């Protein structure tokens, strides 16, 4: 988690760990003049299986990272944003926040939960001058996407190449995105140019038509 390029302030902690997160935020707040934005973007893919076959511990971990982790981060940072009377909250949801995703029920449920959290916080924090939006990425290049497609191919008993081709075929723009695209969207939502943008779920996926 990088907080400030100017101060080169960074740390690593488990996002659902409220005590660790609170300590990190207090340390950061003592060293920075203000908090421009909070980007709650920790996530994990969770299990790939039919619901009845999912290990409860795997389900709980997916929910802890993808949804509970957003609560712990915001609980620690919102008081600082309120005190300064401005700021932006950016939540990481997913294209699954608007579309179902077969065999990924823990992940999908958590990402839909993030959308509900965004809707409520936009109303709660708007009077304090704080915008709240959610990013909805689709398939993102990198090792995480490789792992997800590998798991999908195994469960569906198809080749990795077929799973990858099907993923791209479901995107109107016929391509996956790179992490830079998510960073650029978050940068915009945190910038003065987006000062009146709040309560929105913004896709960055090339328009996923379906996640089947």
CATH of the domain at 116: 3.40.50.720
In a domain, 11, yes or no: yes
In a domain, 157, yes or no: no
Rounded to the nearest 5°, which phi and psi values hold at 44?
-145, 150
69-126 pLDDT, tens digit each = 888 889 888 998 999 899 999 999 998 888 888 889 999 999 999 999 999 999 999 9
Mean pLDDT to the nearest integer, 23-28: 78
Residue 1: pLDDT band with limits 50, 70, 90:
very low
Rounded to the nearest 5°, which phi and psi values hold at 87?
135, 175
Domain span at residue 199 reads: 2-138+177-204
Is residue 71 part of the annotated active site? The answer reads: no
On the CB side of 196, CA atoms within 13 Å amount to: 0
pLDDT of 5 strictly over 60: no
Mean pLDDT to the nearest integer, 30-48: 83
pLDDT of residue 9: 63
pTM of the model: 0.86
In a domain, 149, yes or no: no
Q: Look at the chain and report how many structural domains it folds into.
A: 1
In a domain, 158, yes or no: no
If one compares 135 and 42, the residue with the highest pLDDT of the two is: 135
If one compares 28 and 102, the residue with the highest pLDDT of the two is: 102
Residue reference for tokens 């909250």: 89
- What tokens does 157 get? 């008993």
154-205 pLDDT, tens digit each = 888 889 889 888 888 888 888 888 889 999 999 999 999 999 999 999 998 8
Q: Where do runs of H (alpha helix) occur along 126-196?
A: 143-156, 160-169, 179-190
pLDDT of residue 207: 86
Choice among 24, 39, 107, 208 that is catalytic? 107
d(Cα 64, Cα 123) in Å, to the nearest integer? Answer: 24
If one compares 36 and 106, the residue with the highest pLDDT of the two is: 106
In a domain, 163, yes or no: no
In a domain, 143, yes or no: no
In a domain, 37, yes or no: yes
On the CB side of 147, CA atoms within 13 Å amount to: 8
Q: What share of the chain is helix, strand, coil (3-state, %, to 5)?
A: 55, 15, 35
**Nearest Cα to 97, choosing from 117, 78, 124, 120?**
117
In a domain, 87, yes or no: yes
């Amino acid at each position: 988690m990088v907080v400030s390029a100017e101060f080169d302030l960074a740390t690593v902690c488990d996002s659902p760990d409220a005590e660790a997160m609170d300590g990190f935020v207090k340390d950061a707040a003592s060293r920075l003049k203000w908090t421009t934005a909070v980007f709650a973007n920790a996530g994990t893919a969770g299990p790939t299986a039919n619901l009845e076959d999912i290990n409860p511990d795997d389900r709980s971990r997916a929910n802890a990272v993808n949804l509970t982790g957003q609560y712990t981060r915001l609980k620690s940072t919102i008081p600082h944003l309120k005190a300064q009377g401005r700021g932006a909250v950016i939540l990481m949801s997913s294209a699954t926040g608007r579309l179902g995703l077969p065999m990924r029920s823990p992940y999908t449920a958590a990402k839909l939960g993030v959308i509900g959290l965004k809707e409520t916080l936009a109303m709660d924090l708007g009077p304090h001058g704080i915008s709240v939006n959610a990013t909805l990425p689709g398939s993102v290049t990198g090792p995480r996407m490789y792992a997800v497609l590998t798991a999908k191919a195994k469960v569906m008993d198809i080749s990795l190449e077929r799973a990858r081709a099907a993923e791209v075929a479901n995107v109107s723009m016929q391509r996956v995105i790179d992490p830079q695209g998510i960073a650029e969207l978050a940068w915009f939502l945190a910038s003065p140019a987006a000062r009146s943008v709040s309560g929105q779920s913004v896709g960055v996926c090339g328009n996923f038509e379906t996640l089947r």
